[in-house]
Structure 1
Amino acid sequence: MNISALAERTGVAPDTLRKWELRYGALSPERTSGGQRRYDSSDVARVKWLLDRLSDGYRIGQAASLLHRDFVPPRGPRALQRAILDAAEESDAAAIEALLDHAFAQPRVEVTFEKAIRPALVEVGDRWEAGTLSIGQEHLVSNAVRIRLERLLADSRPAVRGKVVLACAPEERHELGLLSLGLFLAGDGWRVIYLGASTPVRDAVEVAEINQAGLLGLSVSMPQHIKRLSAGLGPPARRGFSAVLGGRAASRGLASLLGAGYVGDDNRRAVVSLRKHGA
């Protein structure tokens, strides 16, 4: 069939089909001796598969990339979690990339994160501690998740609720929990300014003040890093923002000593709490 027939069968305009072919390599039609494109039923199936992925929330470039890998998306959060774990056990970097591309393309990525990605990260960590996964296998998953979270937070969004600066305590390098909170805050309408791991507190304060952020969120996971938090934060009365503390080593008592609010590891509750702090 020619391109007009393919367009009629799929509902995709000929110009769009050409763009998908030339820019993304999504189609590879045969050519006649005169250079005209010729398509068959497999091309119809490919276009319809791409349309399904677009309706799932993918961008065309992401969908075409998955198509090249013969990727079949898992159905449901539990299946996605199991697939990520299986890929980690096989050290299959391509599969991990495809699975996470699928997960982060979902319309409500926060829900997918809580129901599939976060449990997968916990299980990967548990298996590493048990010795059934190597450090390299754990890093394959955690680094791929971190890159995608950072990419999402880097997208400029309107500050509907205000601005929030997020940073890990000095010497603190466990940042996935803070990144996941940033994902939920961005979804709630905050403009997230993410500073990342091992940030001097004075620098985080300066960024918050210059950008007129309503909130400064600090994360500490290792007890040995707690003592570095107090230096540079300053007394509450002199701050132009509300400070909040979270992470595995944080507590309400520690937050109170620093004149800060406290958020636990439940991202949904944390978002509700931070609305009040930032009001």
Structure 2
Amino acid sequence: MFQSCRSLRSLLVMRCPNLVSFSLNLQETPSLERFILKECPKLIPHRFNGFAFAASLRRLSINSPFSSDDSSVDDFDWSGLRSASTLRELRLEGLPHTESLPHQLQYLTTLTSLSLHNFGGIRVLPDWIGNLVSLETLKLRDCDKLQSLPPEAAMRRLTKLTCVDVFDWSGLRSASTLRELQLRGLPHTESLPHQLQYLATLTSLTLANFGGIEVLPDWIGDLVSLETLELSDCENLRSLPSEAAMRRLTKLTRVQVDDCPLLRQRYTSQRGIYLEEEISSDPTSGDSKQEGNNGAQTSISCCFPSLLKKEKPGEA
């Protein structure tokens, strides 16, 4: 079909209502870098020949190709992707009844961006996601039955992952009833969703295992109803918001920090802004509520204590 197109670099097949079959032999288009297939409702999956000899392919997008509810991503011939050493971006969309991802994707060790949209049948992402060691961005949309990301052990293998975009946060701007929010298990994410700053009714915010975040943004001060802030396992977090931002949190009565070692180094009593120990480093201390590993202090609380406590009458 493309015998005379050896210099072809980009191919888009879109909105072809009568297309039934489509043969793409990448051996005949060795220069092809981008291929997008979108909205071809009569295309028969098993008559789509796929991705062998993908010598130059860098971006692949399969978008809502079928009208049949019985169509499955497994009906494609994905076998050629095992040798697609140049592929960087993959987007799959519009297979709402597919219950699993094609297992051949686990060999895409050069992939930097993976987007999955409208996979309504998938409940759990497979452990082999951790094999995509070059992955920087993972985006998930409209996966209604998805219950969890891969286990932590798999996610920790994704050492280059900087963005996990699981939700469409834009709707939170109008979430006027939201009171408690917990976000956990994004160890390589370097920033918080900026839409959170509009949650003026939020009273409790928990952030756990955000290993990539170094500084909490000053817009935390916009969460004017916040009463409790809990931080845990944020190993690179070295700074809370500025004192000016914290002072806007007039209802804040509790800040708890667990296993965020750089915070404890930064906030000391000598600076007047400090972290009070809840767990004694002396395992024999009678004031200790509980013991950490080998008697070591593992939990700290009461950041900016001058902001959390009112001075009593007569106190200097």
**Which has a greater percent of strand?**
2
TM-score by length of 2: 0.35
Which is greater in Rg?
2
Query: Relative CO higher for 1 or 2, CA cutoff 8 Å, sep ≥ 6?
Result: 1
